[in-house]
Chain A
Amino acid sequence: MQEGFDYKKQILEPIKSLRSAPREEMYVPGHRTCAGCGPALNYRLTAKAAGRDTIFIGPTGCMYVANSSYLCTPYAVSWIHAQITNGGAVASGIEAAYKTLARKKKYEGPFPNVIVMAGDGGSVDIGLQAMSALMYRGHDVLFICYDNEAYANTGIQTSPTTPYGANTTFTPPGKAIPEGKKLFPKDPPQLVIGGHPAVKYVATTCVSYPVDLMNKVRKALNVDGPTFLHMLTPCPKGWKFDEKLTLEMGRLAVETGMWTLYEWENGTYKYSHIPKQYKPVSEYMKYQGRFTHLKEEHIAKMQAFVDEKIQRVKAIAVEAPIPTPKARA
């Protein structure tokens, strides 16, 4: 509503290096996530980048169940649980409340960073409707999909972002279905970019690249309006790898092309950390128990899928703007 009103939007400065990142932790010890948990480290970096004037919305998932056990929570900023279905809607209500409270001078501080920290299920499966509606309506909210590529908290079931060939408890490999998961995953950032004209900034991150991650969080929060981050967060339990290899898995995902790091800003793609020579996907898959049942032909299928994706990266890696409708530019 009332366009001219000054809501006191926060502007966060870029972070130059890990050393110069804020020392203050907004996601503190005391949670009960697994050793080597990618989503927990991702939360810590995100909260650090966002800072004190922040409100998190946590739809059901690992980052709810393992973080807020027994009435204890690790959040040094305000946080509210949402159902796995409705993170986007609860966030919309919070943002709207702050807007009217600010207009009526019932709240006079800086407009809070409202961040939804949703898993893949809470973002692009059961939570898709609420997420999409938030993006459509243009609320000043950062919606994060922290992607551990499965419903992990319930015991590793397939989600729409679980990769082809993964062994999950709902896609067990067997005689009739040797590859386990037969489908290829959804593409969350493209879902957001493709259908939501109010969105001006979307980016992907990986927990193994923390400075890049924190700066994308800050950039997203600085945008006035809805933004979306797709964050890769390796999961030792779900992917079945040694828990000391979390960061290595993230790096290998980028180095093999399984994951690409990019920003999309007002219609322009900008890729970063593009490997000079991509490693074969088998380099990434061999560490992960969820892929050990796969045969040559399945790995070849995965390589073909990634090769096609890499072609797209190469095509726009020169940072040239892609054609976009005028209204969006």
Chain B
Amino acid sequence: MAQEKLLSGCAAAAQGAKYAEVEVICSYPIRPYTAIMMELARMVANGELDAEFIHGEGEHAQVSVVLGASAAGARAYTGSSGVGVTYAFEVYSPAAGGRYPLQMAIADRTLDPPGDFGSEHTDAMSCRDQGWLMGWAATPQEVFDNTLINFRVGEDPRIMLPQFVCQDGYFLSHIADKVILPDKSQVKEFLPPYKAPHPLSTTCPVSHGPQIRPDQGAPMDAQRAATFLEVPKVIEEAVADYNRIFGRNYDPFLEKYQMEDAEVAFFIQGAHANTCKSAIKHLRSQGLKAGMVRPRWVRPWPTQQIAEALSKVKAVATVESSTSYGGAMRGGNLVHEVRASLYDLETRPPVTSFMAGLGGDVILLEDFYYMAKILSQMMKEKKVRQHVYWIGFEGE
């Protein structure tokens, strides 16, 4: 029987892993994601979940352990935050290149220095080009749902890729909201058991990951790139099935809020979108037709859908919670991809970017009103004055 519970983002992720019946789990403590593993440890100790729960000796080991488990044919799950995410970096490419569809939950966190527990997307965003699926949730419910959707997409025989399932540290990981936990039969219908195509087996010997000649590298890279072209189709199928079986209403790629008649748009990722929506209600009452687009995936980047969603507006602001020091726009990461997505449109809106929510900072309603002022100005002038605005550091 489906039931409604009050769960934090971390608890929702753990429930997602439990419903997915993960078989090998590897933990290492770091705030804020730790609460996911605390929940799973409790479930294994209680006998609620039959899985091997391994205490990794660090994040590098965590990803290595689940890589081995996945190669042997088990559904495997791990997670991390902040410098833990970057400590494991070496193993991300082998996990994706070996086509091991393991899942890693990330409750994001700033990187050092200085030591800071706050949310920031830079940790996970630094890993976005390692060949994993990646996306942020905005509510605990979406964390739960994304856990199942990602296993389904990642384990699809056409895809076979690992997944970063991200949520904002604290804003999402530690704030409780209503989550509908489904009936087991619904999960059974949606997510078939994991079947590794070529597991490390004693009856059918295989070799995983031998050396290659330089000229064998490009074909493999091309094959991985081609796989990513297949992912959107598989996401569409999976989300359609999910909506049908679980009674949700997700757009496969983007959450679009008040975009039907929007003249200016915020492009924002993760839980700050909830504040953004409140700001939009106020802005509309003041006469500004604002809207919001929130990507549910960073990899694969929904280029086409973003171009369509933003083609009609007259000004766009990306709200960046990650840094790209020295990058083309001198600020965040999203703006590069949004601008590239719009480049082929015949008429494209001006796009600027706002650095906000860094170091765990809250993005206030007032911050969105400030951004809206700049957006109105851009709409009038039909151009970008500044590529990046650092919220709180700009003069009037």
Contact = CB atoms under 8 A, between A and B. Distances in A.
Given A90-B68, A101-B74, A129 B212 contact: no
Interface in B18-70: 23-24, 26, 44, 50-58, 60-62, 64-70
Nearest to B72: A97
Interface string B71-93: 11110100000000000001100
A211 interface: no
Categorize the interface residue count of chain B.
35 or more
Contact of A133 (B61, B200, B205, B208): B61
A69 interface: yes
Name B's interface SS.
mixed
Contacts of A78: 200-202, 205-208
Nearest to A69: B211
A229 B51 CA distance: 30
A98 B207 contact: no
Contacts, number: 161
A109 interface: yes
B209 interface: yes
Contact of A92 (B50, B68, B90, B210): B68
B317 to A, nearest CB: 41
Nearest to B90: A83
B76 to A, nearest CB: 7
A93 B202 contact: no
A49 interface: no
A71 B208 CA distance: 9
B310 to A, nearest CB: 41
A123 to B, nearest CB: 15
Interface in B173-202: 200-202
Contact of A86 (B71, B91, B201, B205): B91
Interface stretch (A53-61, A282-290, A292-300): A53-61
Contacts of A96: 24, 52, 54, 65, 68-69, 74
B203 interface: yes
Categorize the interface residue count of chain A.
35 or more
Given A64-B211, A78-B206, A130-B64, A94 B57 contact: no
Contacts of A100: 23-24, 50-52, 74
Interface string A95-118: 011111101101101101000000
B94 interface: yes
Contacts of A73: 207, 210
Contacts of B24: 93, 96-97, 100
A304 interface: no
B26 to A, nearest CB: 7
30 contacts: A52-B202, A54-B202, A55-B72, A55-B200, A71-B211, A78-B201, A78-B207, A79-B200, A80-B71, A82-B64, A82-B68, A83-B64, A89-B61, A90-B71, A91-B68, A93-B67, A96-B52, A96-B69, A97-B68, A97-B69, A97-B71, A100-B23, A101-B72, A101-B73, A101-B74, A104-B23, A104-B50, A129-B61, A133-B56, A136-B57
Interface of A: 1, 52-55, 57, 64-65, 68-73, 75-83, 85-86, 88-94, 96-101, 103-104, 106-107, 109-110, 112, 129-130, 132-133, 136-137
Interface of B: 23-24, 26, 44, 50-58, 60-62, 64-74, 76, 90-91, 94, 200-203, 205-213, 216
